[in-house]
Amino acid sequence: MAKDAKPEADGAAPAKSGKKLLIIIVVLLVLVLGLGGVGAYILLKPAPEYDDEYADASRERAKPVRRKKADHNAAPIYVAMDAFTVNLVPEDGDQYLQLILSVEVESAEVDEQLKQFMPKLRNDLTLLLSSKKASELMTTEGKQGLAAEIKEKINGVLDPAGKGKNRDWPIREVLFTSFIIQ
């Protein structure tokens, strides 16, 4: 009788292991389908859009402001920029330039664009100003030439595709509100 008890135990074991095997297969199938769904979601979702303040500087591109027809009778819009203090190219010892300027802009949208690109503009203008000699900037013609260079530099950053002599630039005029060479 002892031998008869063993076969009954063997007969019950395959039934239990079959249920366990079925449960393991179902769990694995659910995991594989779930992971496949997550993988498909990650691969097919659209690329995230980043804030401008977090955008990579190398990917940053100036987008021209969509312009309305310029109303030449409208009151001018002036934007004051922070002061620039730079060392000039040495001639007779150390000299520096302190410059405060305002720019006349085409529209209020250009004012927003100026704020957006201010770090690049300040860098470019600092490099431009620090490459000058005091003797070049002492004359009226030197100051007018510098204003034209600054205007061209700013317009080049704000509207790089619009370089042309007959084009209306976003910056109409550069005005010096303080100009000190020491």
Render pLDDT for 66-93 as a digit per residue (tens, 0 to 9). 555 555 667 888 999 999 999 999 888 8
Statement: residue 142 has pLDDT above 50 = yes
Q: Tell me what pLDDT residue 135 has.
A: 92
Instruction: Note the pTM of the prediction, 2 decimals.
Output: 0.59
Q: Which CATH number fits domain 75-181: 3.30.479.30, 1.10.1740.10, 3.90.1150.10, 3.40.50.300?
A: 3.30.479.30
Statement: residue 9 has pLDDT above 60 = no
Rg of the chain over all Cα atoms, to the nearest angstrom: 35
Residue with tokens 């520096």: 96
Q: Tell me what pLDDT residue 11 has.
A: 52
Residue 111's Cβ-count burial label (10 Å; 0-12, 13-18, 19+) is middle
Q: What angle (nearest 5°) sits at the alpha carbon of residue 80, between those of residues 77 and 170?
A: 50
Q: Tell me what pLDDT residue 46 has.
A: 77
Task: Report d(CA 83, CA 99) in Å as an integer.
Answer: 6
Residue 1 contacts by C-beta under 8 Å, 6 or more apart in sequence?
none
pLDDT band at 30 (very low <50, low <70, confident <90, very high): very high
Statement: residue 58 has pLDDT above 50 = no
Statement: residue 2 has pLDDT above 60 = no
pLDDT band at 137 (very low <50, low <70, confident <90, very high): very high
Statement: residue 12 has pLDDT above 80 = no
Task: Report d(CA 17, CA 100) in Å as an integer.
Answer: 85
